[in-house]
Amino acid sequence: MIRIAAAGDLHVGLDSVGCYSPLLAHLHERADVLLLAGDLTQHGSIDEFHVLAKELAGLHTPVAAVFGNHDYHQGHETRNREILESVGVRVLEGEYMVLRMGEERLGVAGIKGFCGGYAGACGAEFGEPEMKSFIRTTKEDAESLRIALDAISGCDVRVALTHYSPIKGTLVGEKLEIYPFLGSYLLAEAIDGAKADLALHGHSHKGTDQGVTPGGVPVRNVAMPVIRTGYQLFSFGSAPSPSVESMGESTG
Amino acid sequence: MEYGPTLHKSYLVARVREALAEDPRLNELDIQVTVAAGKVFLLGEVASQERRRQAAIVAAEVLPEGIGLVNNLHVARYTESSDVEELR
Ligand SMILES: [Fe+2]
Ligand SMILES: [Fe+2]
């Protein structure tokens, strides 16, 4: 049994001291890992990351995170990553993490991702240098996600963690005009290519919690303004792993 | 409705949204701005009382004289966790 807690868009500010940690009081009883889907802070400042690190310090649950656009705003990604790592939070920027839970292995491939729109109505790497670099950024992030997912292909449960949305389905409630700024289908293509078990994202505060990729991978928008809780819980585990099955036992 | 020679209603909405998103005191991208009855309304949700107050200050600074501001923003409240969704 693998139990995942996930939340995005905490938007922690200097006025958020003591706001998130109370919501995590029972986390260790409910989940094996906490995944944070970006926009961890409001302005991306070093001081805010110190506040966030305090909120996350001392948890008895492993934590992995991707950054969001807000976390990039002041250009302190390197320092902010170090601040999170100093309290044991793994930051995934085109990287992956593998956690062993009993007989099973959970793999998480994470990247912020970027925008560009969805199949049939998206930008192309064409024209002005600014437009080309915009779409190239999305393509590179999708490729990094694909490589990270490939690296965890041997895990029993494989999760893609992004800030931007891989699909339109979880954006329902947002203005149609801003869809191209909320994500890219290229992320979904990478997720489908790897046949991931779950895709988690944030960024869309007014969107919907549930969707599915064209390839059938469940997508969950875990932005806090959407889930209305400190974290959303998911579990995998009704199917016993092959080695256990061969011994005629069940993990339940 | 008169907002001045160049400030059409839709530009006024854009001006306020731009300030809310780009002002370093706030950086709020998800506040809904609407103009009605000669007033600018701030609608939606922010994370704290302080951000609610700051949003009104930032918005007021870019409003032309004589245009009122109504702050309908509310502060988000979160419960601890959800039920478990079993995915497999
Ligand atoms: Fe956000
Ligand atoms: Fe975001």
Q: Express each pLDDT in B2-49 by its tens digit.
A: 555 557 888 999 999 999 999 999 999 999 999 999 899 999 999 999
Supply the pLDDT for residue B9.
Answer: 85
Q: Report CA Rg, chain A.
A: 18
Q: Which CATH class is domain B9-75?
A: alpha beta
Cβ separation B81–A231 shorter than 8 A = yes
Res. A248: pLDDT tops 80: no
What pLDDT, on the 0 to 100 scale, is given for residue B8? 85
Ligand nearest to the CA of A40: 1
Q: Count CB-CB contacts under 10 A for residue A238.
A: 12
pLDDT at res. A229: 97
Choose, out of A28, A74, A235, the residue to mutate when testing the contact with B (most B CBs < 10 Å): A235
CA distances from A198 to A203, B1, B87 (A): 17, 51, 8
Q: If 0-12 CB within 10 Å is exposed, 13-18 middle and 19+ buried, where does residue A126 land?
A: exposed
The answer to whether the CB atoms of A13 and B50 lie below 8 A apart is yes
ipTM of the complex: 0.89
Cα of B11 to nearest chain A Cα, Å: 17
Chain B: residue whose CA lies nearest to A7: B81
What share of chain A in percent tops pLDDT 70?
94
Query: A96-139 pLDDT, tens per residue?
Result: 999 999 899 999 999 999 999 999 999 999 999 999 999 999 99
Closest by CA to A222, choosing from A235, A236, A207, A212, is: A207
First-to-last alpha carbon distance for chain B, in angstroms, is 58
- Which domain CATH number covers A14? 3.60.21.10
Residue A241 has pLDDT above 70, yes or no: no
Domain ranges of chain B: 9-75
Q: Could you tell me which residues come within 8 angstroms of residue A155 by beta carbon, excluding any fewer than 6 positions away?
A: A98, A105, A106, A107
Domain count, chain A: 1
Q: What pLDDT sits at residue B21?
A: 97
Q: What is the DSSP letter of B66?
A: T
Residues A37-84 pLDDT 10s? 999 999 999 999 999 999 999 999 999 999 999 999 999 999 999 999
Partner B contacted by A134 (CB < 8 A)? no
Residue A65 lies inside a defined structural domain of this protein: yes
pTM, to two decimals: 0.93
Residue A23 counted as domain residue: yes
Q: What are the tens digits of pLDDT across the range A208-236? A: 999 999 999 999 999 999 999 999 999 99
User: How high is the mean pLDDT of chain A?
Assistant: 94
Q: Which of B47, B79, B83 is facing A13, going by the closest CB pair?
A: B47
CB-CB contact of B64 with A213 (8 Å) = no
Nearest chain B Cα distance for residue A64, angstroms: 18
Share of chain A above pLDDT 90, in %: 92
Q: What pLDDT was estimated at residue B88? A: 87
Parent domain of A16: 2-247
Residue A148 vs residues A41, A78, A131, A195, B3: alpha-carbon distances, Å: 25, 20, 26, 13, 53
